[in-house]
Amino acid sequence: MRTSKIAATLGGLAALVLALGVVPGRAEDEAPKDPTRGQWDSFLDPLRDAEDEYVTGGQKWIEDNTGIHVSAAFQKGFTYDFGKPKQGTALTYDGFEYHDSPSIDAAQIKLTRPSQGWFIPGFGVTLDFGKIARRIKSDWSGDGAVTRGDIFETNNFDAEEAYLTWAVPEDSPYLKGLSVKGGKFATLLGYEVIEPWLNFTNSRSLLYTFAIPVTNTGVLVSYPITDKISVSAGPVAGWDQVASNNNGWTGMGNVTWTATDQVTLAANGIYGPSQTNNIKNKRGVVDLIATYKPLDELTLNLNYDWGHENGAAIGGGSATWQGIAATANYAFTDRFSAAVRGEWFQDANGARTGTNHNSVYEGTFDMKYLLTQHLYAQMEFRFDKSNHDVFLADGNSQVKGNHGLVGANLTYVFN
């Protein structure tokens, strides 16, 4: 049954590509610069021509005629886990990595359209397929858990985002730039995002896995106070909830300051009840992000999280967690880049990892190479170490205090 679902998903993606292929292509003078042309692998130029003519050109034709921007991506990789978990078992600390699994890692179709005038809303829909969908599952039913039998919660499909948007028209004399988003959307918190092709590293950080939510459902209002400072805020239904599990509401907000062309600072926060049938105990996180580009080729990022929740500690009482992650990415050429990430995460009371006084360190090294403008190959090395034996090993029959993996993937994406 699972194989047939995967086949149907691939068939749907193929149909989309074919549909894009029957429409007129992008005019030559409109084509963006392709860094992969005119180099040693010019024998791939027919593939690049097909991408420009059918994929990118078809994408532009759809947007010109409907106002809908279509993007899609597909990733398949192989991960060797030195802990040797049994038959594709997901290790908690690996974010989205699976040992020697034949399943699709990630496939995505995304449709967006901005609002028009005063009365026609815009929308965004992001559909995920494969293992990535299972790992970002939200609680759709409001029972407080991703449980078997609930719709969207037990298969390799998830509606990552489904929202309506509205923005004050450009010709308005007041509040230009004000926008409202309502529905399900990716969280404001964190430097990394769900899509691996939008991150510098393929696996997710410990902060992304444990410190913050993945998606939120609710309403956000955004406004650029100046050309350098913007804010967003609104009520949401807790962490990774579509329906509330406690009839309470959580507040979430963001302030971003683009200090210079090289420096961007952001502060995010979320606070409210997240425990099932309990609005008394509150969960809150402060999320701070600094991005620095001293060179066009180099991007440096620093992300710090601090979280607290009443009644969430092992054995009762309040719980705190914190962590810091530093990432550097350097583009050696237009086609080849490398990234390194180092981080520390502390779960003082076991609320996030299930292990009391747990401190985990992690180091990751990635290399990425563009084969065409839309297709890249990537390799990753990762090592995690904890002060407790928390990593599964030898078919889940043993645990140990450290863990390593090596992975490689091919990813095709057009945005």
3-state helix, strand, coil in the chain (%, to 5): 15, 45, 40
Residue 115 has pLDDT above 80, yes or no: yes
Structure confidence by residue, pLDDT tens digits, 202-223: 999 999 999 999 999 999 999 9
User: Does 301 have pLDDT greater than 50?
Assistant: yes
290 vs 151, more confident = 290
Residue 207: DSSP 8-state: I
pTM (two decimals): 0.88
Q: Give per-residue pLDDT as tens, 322-377.
A: 999 999 999 999 999 999 999 999 999 999 988 899 999 999 999 999 999 999 99
**Block residue for tokens 């985002």:** 161
On the question of pLDDT at 81 being above 50, the answer is: yes
Whether residue 11 is predicted with pLDDT greater than 70 in this model: the reply is no
What pLDDT was estimated at residue 354? 87
pLDDT at 284 over 80: yes
Torsion sign, CA atoms 77, 83, 87, 89:
negative
Integer Cα distance of 150 and 245 in angstroms? 14
Q: CA–CA separation, 215 vs 240, rounded Å?
A: 5
- Its sign, for the CA torsion 23, 160, 210, 404, is negative
| Helix residue ranges per DSSP H, 202-265 | 206
- pLDDT band, residue 9 (cuts 50/70/90): very low
DSSP letter assigned to residue 60: H
The vertex-90 CA angle with 87 and 93, nearest 5°, equals 145
What is the pLDDT at residue 256? 98
Query: Where do we find the tokens 């494969």?
Result: 130
pLDDT over 80 (residue 59): yes
Question: 181: which 2 tokens?
Answer: 């988003």
Structure tokens at 23: 């429409």
Q: Which tokens sit at 107?
A: 């496939």
Tell me which fold the domain 67-414 belongs to.
Answer: Porin (2.40.160)
Query: How far apart, in whole angstroms, are the C-alpha atoms of residue 158 and residue 151?
Result: 10
Q: What tokens appear for 40 in the block? A: 């040693």
What sign does the dihedral 15-18-22-28 (CA atoms) show? positive
pLDDT at 32 > cutoff 90: no
pLDDT digits (tens, 9 = 90+) for 122-180: 999 999 998 888 888 888 888 888 776 676 777 889 999 999 999 999 999 899 999 99
How is the chain split into domains, by residue range?
A: 1-26+40-66, 67-414
DSSP string, 100-118: T--S--EEEEEEEE--BTT
Judging by DSSP bridges, how do beta strands 402-414 and 375-386 pair with one another? Answer: antiparallel
Please write the tens of the pLDDT for every residue from 240-269: 999 999 999 999 999 999 999 999 999 999
Q: d(Cα 108, Cα 140) in Å, to the nearest integer?
A: 20
Q: What is the C-alpha separation between 412 and 410, in angstroms, rounded?
A: 7
What percent of the chain lies above the pLDDT cut of 90?
A: 65
Helix (H) or strand (E) holding 264: strand 263-273
Q: Position of tokens 């549909």?
A: 19
For 63, phi and psi rounded to 5 degrees?
Answer: -65, -40
Distance between CA atoms of residues 194 and 236, nearest Å: 19
pLDDT of residue 3: 39
Strands 106-113 and 69-81: antiparallel
pLDDT attached to residue 16: 39
Beta-carbon count within 10 A of 299 CB: 19
Q: What is the mean pLDDT of residues 55-63?
A: 91
Residue 309 pLDDT class (50, 70, 90 cuts): very high
Handedness of CA 179, 180, 184, 188 (dihedral sign): positive
Mean pLDDT of the chain: 87
Q: 2: pLDDT confidence band, cut at 50, 70 and 90?
A: very low
Residue 272: CB atoms within 10 A of its CB come to 20
In the chain, % of residues over pLDDT 70:
85
Grade residue 271 by pLDDT with cuts at 50, 70 and 90. Answer: very high
